[in-house]
Structure 1
Amino acid sequence: MSRILFSATLALVLALPAFAQEIPTYAPPPTMPADASKLPTIVLMSMGGTIASRGDTRLNITNYGGGMPRVDPEHWVADLPELEGIANIVLDDQRAPRDRPTGTETHEDCARVARRLEELAADPSIDGFVVTHGTNTMSEVAYYMNLTVKTDKPIVFVGSQRPWTGMSGDGPRNLYDAVRVAASPEARGKGVLQSTNQLINAARDVDKTIAYRMNTFVGVDVGALGYADPDKVVFFREPVRRHTTGSEFAGLDLAELPKVEIAYGYRQAPGYLIDAMVEHGVKGIVIDGVGAGSATSGVEGQAEAVKRAQAKGVVVVMTARTHGGRVQDTPRRREAKIVPGDNLLPEKARILLQLALTKTTDVAEVTRIFAEY
């Protein structure tokens, strides 16, 4: 009886319709065509970062670097033979000199890389760029390049949250996808891009939002431009703010920039910090303000210190510490001669203000620049 029951049950199961989710057919990575000259040529440029770091063990994903040898661009290419199927790779190492007393990246480094990108972009045989960078300041460095490099060729910034040697590291996949994005004809003319975790974001909009998780980079207000999906690179929208070939700051000699600092808004934030900035010669101040973008008030508050700074010719820009939504151009701000920072992060507003101050200190003109970029 049990054998008959089993046979009947099996027949019933086989007769039922299948409702299981369909599994997509695996698409193998593209292979090297017979004529490699048909592939786009992509410059792989290193500015260091976690993606260029090693840990002493595969489980070390937070305390890496130190005395470990760093990962050089040729190691990336050797570890990713799949790149041969999508692009001809040219290596260019632009990391800061090893003998510098401190590893902190400087404006001089950024200006040097910007000049190098423009120099290489003038070569008609080069189709695009992938620039690796540390995730801590990648979004602001990418925004600087977005404003200062005069080319419509794709420039894609990429990094990783885990070292190249880490177990289940995100570096290899991020780098592979970034090359795919830079090699995509649709990426041309969209300004500097940032590609991690399969997302493609505009340099202006992207922000690092999580300390260690791999889904850290997002466009808080506006979302991604597109995706580096396994089957193809797809774009759904384009940046509308001025950048690269449309930027009035692109192609300029920017060896030095005016001094601009950032003050944070919070309950009872003192004004003496702003006074100290002015004493140290700042030409502009960005205040990451409370609410929709406001300095704190009071006898010793920020608002009173702002007036003192403005009286000495300092230009003040207001962003919002909410990091979502715009600081708007209201009659009250206009009367107070405060430049609304739109929805820029304070560190990006600082870069734009530095560039603006190379041209003007007129508040109305600086306001125009912030509205267009």
Structure 2
Amino acid sequence: MSRSALVVALLRASILGFALLAAPALQPGQAFAQQRPLPRVIVLATGGTIAGQATSTSAIGYASGKVTGAALVAAVPGMDRLATISAEQISSVGSQDMNDKIWFDLAHRIGDILAKNEADGVVITHGTDTMEETAFFLDNVLPGDKPVVLVGSMRPSTAVSADGPANLYEAVEVAASPQARGRGVLVVLNDTIHGARGVQKTNTTSVQTFLSPNGGPAGYVDPASVRFVTQPGTATRHVYALPTAPPLPRVDIVYAHANMDAAQIDDAVKGGAKGIVLAGVGDGNGSQAAIDALATAAKQGVLVVRASRVGSGFVNRNVEVDDDKLGFVAALDLNPQKARVLSQLLIANGVTDPKQAQDAFAATW
């Protein structure tokens, strides 16, 4: 290199050095954020308390589903830094009125979103009363590993201490997180992440109503981080096909109690139930009259599942009741309402043999 060329090279290096010193320092994560676009999250609104407005008739009363999904998203500051968000309205009902049609609409729309790569994650705003059933239904019919997160609130949007905005923020945070992939459908409320199979509503009014009694939560979330305490499932999930149109096959839940007779069971069979779930006492048991009526129903081709009204624990097979002899299915860790959902999907897919059904109930992540 000639002396003049060397001088020019040194001069250029000096100019570059001054430019770097003069440039503003990048904040932690800023360079990474500039290199990657924000995740895309679609919010599907169904109504519920999170979209509720207080009424003038009661100090604690409210009307569910009055606020649109778009309005809910717009009301939460800072979510635009988590993801690129769009909102769609699927329904506007309290979750006590959740039904097969809305379930099918959700499943079909989410299926399209995933198949067409319209988003990296989906959030569903939903009432808390039947949220666990919707989550479990979707967990059994949706393919793929992208996050699908249900969220709601225990207080309406107009309450002084509304919990909906923080819950929605954290649900979007989870749906946008790569850590949430491959974990099935999740439920997020009150800084806690639950899996669809284990989560249950356990309190009428507390913001800490959702628990996973038999396995614990899947993780925790706050505005700064998403932390899972369980590993993603390694087993291949069975995805059940939906009928061409709703409704799902009829499955009734009968509630066991002292001095129980066979009336509920006989009425369910006469009413056309294709399956019956016993919300049994203790380990899924019932009176002798009830067990005899269920055995008769099973012989007639009705899928009979023993669950428990207790709220936690497993209903074990062939304990107290001879399931092998009577043709019953033990719900294991599934509560009555989830046992009903799985029974509906099994019957819709032609699975009515008790042994095959028991294998399906035993399948876990």
Q: 1:144 to 1:52 in 2, by over 3 A?
A: same
Structure 2 distance, partners of 1:32, 1:271, is 68
* Contact residue 146 and residue 191 of structure 1 kept, 8 A: yes
Q: Which residue of 2 is the match for residue 16 of structure 1?
A: none
Structure 2 distance, partners of 1:345, 1:241, is 24
Structure 2 distance, partners of 1:173, 1:32, is 27
Q: Which residue of 2 is the match for residue 49 of structure 1?
A: 48
Q: Which residue of 2 is the match for residue 317 of structure 1?
A: 305
Read off the aligned partner of 2:210 and give its amino acid letter.
F
Structure 1 distance, partners of 2:77, 2:307, is 44
In the alignment, does 2:200 pair up with 1:207? yes
Q: Which residue of 2 is the match for residue 187 of structure 1?
A: 180
Read off the aligned partner of 2:283 and give its amino acid letter.
A
In the alignment, does 2:82 pair up with 1:86? yes
Q: 1:251 to 1:106 in 2, by over 3 A?
A: closer
Structure 1 distance, partners of 2:133, 2:323, is 26
Long gaps (5+) in structure 1: 1-27
Q: Deviations over 1:65-94 (max 9, x none)?
A: 17xx81112212221121011110011110
Task: Quote how far apart the aligned CAs of 1:255 are.
Answer: 3.0
Structure 1 distance, partners of 2:102, 2:69, is 18
* Contact residue 61 and residue 163 of structure 1 kept, 8 A: no
Structure 1 distance, partners of 2:257, 2:105, is 37
Long gaps (5+) in structure 2: 1-26
Q: 1:254 to 1:334 in 2, by over 3 A?
A: farther
Q: Which residue of 1 is the match for residue 314 of structure 2?
A: 326
Structure 1 distance, partners of 2:277, 2:166, is 36
Structure 2 distance, partners of 1:189, 1:78, is 29
SS at match of 1:366: helix
1:82-161 to 2 correspondence within 5 Å?
82-95=78-91, 104-161=97-154
* Contact residue 139 and residue 207 of structure 1 kept, 8 A: yes
Q: Which residue of 1 is the match for residue 285 of structure 2?
A: 294
Task: Quote how far apart the aligned CAs of 1:253 are.
Answer: 4.1
Structure 2 distance, partners of 1:348, 1:211, is 19
* Contact residue 298 and residue 328 of structure 2 kept, 8 A: no
Read off the aligned partner of 2:74 and give its amino acid letter.
A
SS at match of 1:307: helix
Structure 2 distance, partners of 1:145, 1:61, is 35
SS at match of 1:150: coil
Number of matched pairs: 334
1:187-336 to 2 correspondence within 5 Å?
187-238=180-231, 240=233, 246-249=237-240, 253=244, 255-297=246-288, 301-330=289-318, 332-336=322-326
* Contact residue 98 and residue 130 of structure 2 kept, 8 A: no
- Report the aligned-residue RMSD: 2.7
* Contact residue 82 and residue 173 of structure 2 kept, 8 A: yes
Task: Quote how far apart the aligned CAs of 1:230 are.
Answer: 3.8
SS at match of 1:329: coil
* Contact residue 42 and residue 126 of structure 1 kept, 8 A: yes
Q: Deviations over 1:247-290 (max 9, x none)?
A: 23057646332110001111111111100110011111000111
Q: Deviations over 1:33-72 (max 9, x none)?
A: 9859611000011011000111157x97731117xx8111
Q: 1:277 to 1:253 in 2, by over 3 A?
A: same
Q: Deviations over 1:108-136 (max 9, x none)?
A: 11011100000011233510011000011
Structure 2 distance, partners of 1:76, 1:363, is 45
SS at match of 1:143: helix
* Contact residue 157 and residue 194 of structure 1 kept, 8 A: yes
* Contact residue 290 and residue 296 of structure 1 kept, 8 A: no
SS at match of 2:249: coil
Q: Deviations over 1:146-182 (max 9, x none)?
A: 0011121100000000001101111010000000000
* Contact residue 50 and residue 134 of structure 1 kept, 8 A: yes
In the alignment, does 2:356 pair up with 1:357? no
Q: 1:227 to 1:209 in 2, by over 3 A?
A: same
* Contact residue 47 and residue 93 of structure 2 kept, 8 A: no
Task: Quote how far apart the aligned CAs of 1:228 are.
Answer: 0.3
Structure 2 distance, partners of 1:110, 1:158, is 15
Q: 1:136 to 1:61 in 2, by over 3 A?
A: farther
1:11-26 to 2 correspondence within 5 Å?
none
The percentage of aligned residue pairs carrying the same residue is: 35
Q: Deviations over 1:226-256 (max 9, x none)?
A: 00034210101036496xx722305764633
